[in-house]
């Protein structure tokens, strides 16, 4: 191992997919854009910012007082005027903003005009309740149209929203609401999930016993069962908007005024309230949405993430609306009532751009091709992926079975903290490789560095850093500047530490290898969990795999793999040996998993990321730490039982 490298890069993907010439010819982004941004990055961003509508135009572009950035700081604008009024004024009021489909099958179509009116009514209602500019408002809702309406109503009056994913528990609500002292909470009576009713209002009631700052709780009637309404505190949404005008002056906001907080915990530690402000954030989400997804007027765009995550904030709400897109929102799970639900939605609305996550793609792989095959997916012309490294085999499956072999795939790397996509192909420009997010977008400056913070030469691996401020970047952590410096700016001077391991190949393509703490050290080799997982998923019988290091007397750490098989099949010792041999042959003998367990599910966060920390605890037989972010706790139980069995076998 070269000492300069922080992580060894083992795989060598050879497949290449240049953009189809017809796609390239019509693409929004053309090759010259990289040079344009390189030449003068500040005027590049200022150019995109000027495409927004400003109440007061900015004259300054960037003020960088490391690690705090101000973009377009003397300008004023309102996010919703850009998302809504601008399009209505341009005569696009009848364009559909959202095609919404509820889990039980109910549907709504909402035009830009209607969306504007609903946002204004709620904004007026919030003002009438005493919510003022600068007050924080928590939102805890399922994927119904009132969720973006609530966010936009807050933005209309300058009250930063703090969306809390609807799958979180009362404790998670308490932590987030109290940290930023939200004055109001917007929720629903209940939500639908796989045909079951989720008690959102009950969860809020439990939380509100410990959130003294909340004065009002506004409740949308979604399901209709009776819920407790506390006099003086709880109000029905319908009553709040009743009689309110459908016009509401947008509050003029400084470019650097807070647009929202979004708490991110990943898999460890107290959640951080990530701060996003108005002008720079809107500029960058609008630009990336237009270029990375090649959005055109007649596209039907569907980001299948939940609005409770940053992906939904940037690429269901602010980016698409600023671009006047027609989007799809679906309330429920992909397997309700059957495993073809997403594909039936693609067919019904003739979705042309689909953006989803590797964890979903691997699930679809596991379910098999019969579900997408039931539907006409020929409307699709572009596919996107986000949230985790996508294994090359999942990428190929997505391309072939969803994209019909014709759609470019954009594997987009970014974070809650970055606000917008940072590293991604431009679909009409970039030659893609399965498993690589390719290159930093125009206007984005990244590097891969070793332990000393030195740039690693092509072919090597290390830590991904961002080397210049960007408009959509976080402006810090709510109430904790020190934690902001410590987490992102202290490891390497003048560089933002993303926390991801990454390799750059000889052509300059970036290959993400998971979070830094997911790196294993086996006999002095630093091995990325992602690479071993990808090798496992390459095997035709494997649908999904998670790999962690387990303490080992001999080798420091030993590789421990948890494997789900396609079609839900059970494993066997023979197959386990075959998989071990397969990984060894693919990446080198020293990467052969010492332990290999079959399981029907992996423990994941509610946003679909594998919780390797939990798997490490399980593998090492420890008491489990915090499991509040876990999506399905039954899985852990099953795995613990199996791990005990494995341990006995060994002795």
364 CB contacts (<8 Å, ≥6 apart)? 334, 342, 371, 372, 397, 401, 402
CB 345, min distance to ligand WTA, A:
22
Cα–Cα distance measured from residue 411 to residue 510, given in angstroms and rounded to the nearest whole number = 11
- Closer CB to ligand WTA, 153 or 386, in the complex: 386
CA 534 – CA 391 distance, rounded (Å): 5
Cβ proximity to ligand WTA: between 111 and 529 the closer is 529
Distance CA 360, CA 550 (A): 27
**What are 231's two structure tokens?**
């006099």
Q: In angstroms, give the least distance from the CB of 472 to ligand WTA.
A: 12
Q: Tokens 């994209």 — which residue?
A: 403
Residue number with CB closer to ligand WTA (205 or 500): 500
Distance of closest approach, residue 7 Cβ to ligand WTA, in angstroms? 13
Euclidean distance between CA atoms 514 and 503, whole angstroms: 11
Q: By C-beta, is 80 or 412 nearer to ligand WTA?
A: 412
Please report how close the Cβ of residue 170 comes to ligand WTA at its closest, in angstroms: 22
Q: Which is nearer to ligand WTA, 135 or 388 (CB)?
A: 388
CA distances from 596 to 392, 524, 599 (A): 21, 21, 10
In degrees and rounded to multiples of 5, residue 326 shows phi and psi of -100, 120
Q: In angstroms, what is the minimal distance from the CB of 119 to ligand WTA?
A: 25
Question: Which residue number, 356 or 592, has a Cβ lying nearer to ligand WTA?
Answer: 356
Return residues touching ligand WTA (CB under 6 A): 264, 309-311, 386-389, 411-416, 437, 498-500, 512, 515, 607
> If you search the block for the tokens 């939500």, which residue do you land on?
191
CB of 285 to ligand WTA, least distance (A): 12
Nearest distance from C-beta of residue 310 to ligand WTA, angstroms: 5
Tally helices (H) and strands (E) across the chain. Answer: 22, 29
Q: Kindly give, in sequence order, each residue whose CB lies less than 8 Å from that of residue 120, ignoring residues fewer than 6 positions away.
A: 153, 156, 244, 245, 246, 247, 248
CA distances from 167 to 149, 191, 260, 273 (A): 19, 10, 20, 18
**Cα angle value 474/476/481 (rounded, 5°):** 165
Least distance (Å) between residue 508 CB and ligand WTA: 16
Give the angle 320-190-218 at the CA atoms, nearest 5°.
70
Contact 578, 236 (CB under 8 A): no
| 262 touches 312 (CB < 8 A) | no
Q: Report the distance separating Cα 446 and Cα 422, nearest Å.
A: 9
Closest separation in Å from C-beta 489 to ligand WTA: 16
Minimum CB distance to ligand WTA, residue 60 (Å): 29
Q: Is the dihedral of CA 455, 458, 462, 463 positive or negative?
A: positive
What interhelical angle do 170-180 and 200-208 show, nearest 10? 50
Closest CB to ligand WTA among residues 124, 172 = 172
At 513, list the tokens. 């290898």
User: Which C-beta is closer to ligand WTA: that of 145 or that of 499?
Assistant: 499
Considering the complex, what minimum distance in angstroms separates the CB of residue 630 from ligand WTA? Answer: 15
CB-nearer residue toward ligand WTA: 276 or 580: 276
Pull the structure tokens for residue 82.
Answer: 């850009």
* Residue nearer to ligand WTA on the CB measure, 28 or 264: 264
- As a whole number of angstroms, the distance between CA 432 and CA 18 comes to 6
CB of 283 to ligand WTA, least distance (A): 18
Q: Choose between 158 and 501: whose C-beta lies nearer to ligand WTA.
A: 501
| Residue 560 CB, nearest approach to ligand WTA (Å) | 20
Tokens of 39: 């030449």
How is residue 344 written in tokens? 């039936």
Q: Which is nearer to ligand WTA, 125 or 387 (CB)?
A: 387
Nearer to ligand WTA, 172 or 607 (CB): 607
Provide long-range contacts, Cβ within 8 A and 24+ apart, for 70-73: 70/255, 70/256, 71/45, 71/255, 71/256, 71/277, 71/279, 71/280, 71/283, 71/469, 71/471, 72/46, 72/255, 72/279, 72/280, 72/283, 72/471, 73/254, 73/255, 73/256
Among the listed residues 79, 69, 81, 78, the one whose alpha carbon sits nearest the alpha carbon of residue 42: 69
Could you tell me the two tokens for 213?
């700052």
User: Nearer to ligand WTA by C-beta: 331 or 518?
Assistant: 518
Alpha-carbon span 206 to 58, nearest angstrom: 45
Least Cβ distance, residue 265 to ligand WTA (angstroms): 10
How many whole angstroms from its chain centre is CA 258?
A: 20
Rounded to the nearest whole angstrom, what is the least distance from the CB of residue 500 to ligand WTA in the complex? 5
Give the shortest CB-513-to-ligand WTA separation in angstroms.
Answer: 8
Tell me how far apart the 2 most distant CA atoms of the chain are, in Å: 74
Which residue's CB is nearer to ligand WTA, number 340 or number 533?
533
Q: At what angle do helices 279-292 and 41-49 cross, to 10 degrees?
A: 90
Q: Please identify, using beta-carbon distances, which residue of 207 and 502 lies nearer to ligand WTA.
A: 502
């Amino acid at each position: 191992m070269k000492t300069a490298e922080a992580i060894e890069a083992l795989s060598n993907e050879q497949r290449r997919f240049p953009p189809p010439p017809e796609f390239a010819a019509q693409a929004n982004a053309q090759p010259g854009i990289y040079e344009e941004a390189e030449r003068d990055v500040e005027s590049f961003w200022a150019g995109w910012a000027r495409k927004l509508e400003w109440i007061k135009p900015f004259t300054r572009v960037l003020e960088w007082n490391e690690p705090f950035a101000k973009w377009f700081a003397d300008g004023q604008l309102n996010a919703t005027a850009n998302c809504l009024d601008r399009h209505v004024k341009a005569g696009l009021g009848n364009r559909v903003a959202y095609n919404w489909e509820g889990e039980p099958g109910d549907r709504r179509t909402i035009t830009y005009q209607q969306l504007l009116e609903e946002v204004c009514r709620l904004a007026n209602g919030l003002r009438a309740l005493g919510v003022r500019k600068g007050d924080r408002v928590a939102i805890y809702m399922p994927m119904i149209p009132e969720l973006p309406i609530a966010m936009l109503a807050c933005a209309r009056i300058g009250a930063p929203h703090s969306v809390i994913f609807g799958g979180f528990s009362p404790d998670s609500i308490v932590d987030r609401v109290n940290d930023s002292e939200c004055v109001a909470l917007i929720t629903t009576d209940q939500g639908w999930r796989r045909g079951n009713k989720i008690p959102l209002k009950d969860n809020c009631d439990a939380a509100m016993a410990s959130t003294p700052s909340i004065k009002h709780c506004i409740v949308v009637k979604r399901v209709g069962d009776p819920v407790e309404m506390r006099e003086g505190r709880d109000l029905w949404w319908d009553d709040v908007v009743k009689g309110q005008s459908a016009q509401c002056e947008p509050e003029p906001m400084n470019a650097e005024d807070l647009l929202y907080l979004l708490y991110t915990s990943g898999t460890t530690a107290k959640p951080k309230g990530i701060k996003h402000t108005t002008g720079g954030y809107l500029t960058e989400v609008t630009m990336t949405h237009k270029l990375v997804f090649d959005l055109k007027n007649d596209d039907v765009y569907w980001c299948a993430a939940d609005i409770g995550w940053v992906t939904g904030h940037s690429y269901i709400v602010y980016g698409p609306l600023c671009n006047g897109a027609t989007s799809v929102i679906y309330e429920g799970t992909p397997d309700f009532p059957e495993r073809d639900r997403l594909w039936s939605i693609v067919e019904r609305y003739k979705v042309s751009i689909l953006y989803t996550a590797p964890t979903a793609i691997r699930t679809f792989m596991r379910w098999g091709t019969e579900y997408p095959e039931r539907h006409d997916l020929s409307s699709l012309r572009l596919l996107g992926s986000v949230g985790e490294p996508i294994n090359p085999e999942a990428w190929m499956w997505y391309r072939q079975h969803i994209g019909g072999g014709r759609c470019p795939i954009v594997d987009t790397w970014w974070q809650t903290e970055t606000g917008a996509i940072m590293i991604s192909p431009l679909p009409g420009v970039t030659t893609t490789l399965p498993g690589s997010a390719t290159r930093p977008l125009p206007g984005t400056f990244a590097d891969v560095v070793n332990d000393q913070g030195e740039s690693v030469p092509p072919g090597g691996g290390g830590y991904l850093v961002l080397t210049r401020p960007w408009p959509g970047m976080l402006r810090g952590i709510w109430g904790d500047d020190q934690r902001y410096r410590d987490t992102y700016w202290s490891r390497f001077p003048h560089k933002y530490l993303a926390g991801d391991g990454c390799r750059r190949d000889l052509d300059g393509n970036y290959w993400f290898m998971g979070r830094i703490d997911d790196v294993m050290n086996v006999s002095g080799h630093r091995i990325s969990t992602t690479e071993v997982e990808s090798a496992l998923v390459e095997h035709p019988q494997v649908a999904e795999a998670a790999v962690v290091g387990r303490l080992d007397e001999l080798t420091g750490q030993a590789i421990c793999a948890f494997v789900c098989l396609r079609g839900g099949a059970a494993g066997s010792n023979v197959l386990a040996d075959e998989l071990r041999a397969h990984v060894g042959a693919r990446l080198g003998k020293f990467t052969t998993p010492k332990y290999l367990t079959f399981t029907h599910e992996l423990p994941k966060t509610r946003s679909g990321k594998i919780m390797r920390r939990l798997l490490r605890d399980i593998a090492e037989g420890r008491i489990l730490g915090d499991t509040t972010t876990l999506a399905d706790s039954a899985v852990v139980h099953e795995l613990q039982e199996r791990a005990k069995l494995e341990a006995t076998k060994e002795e």
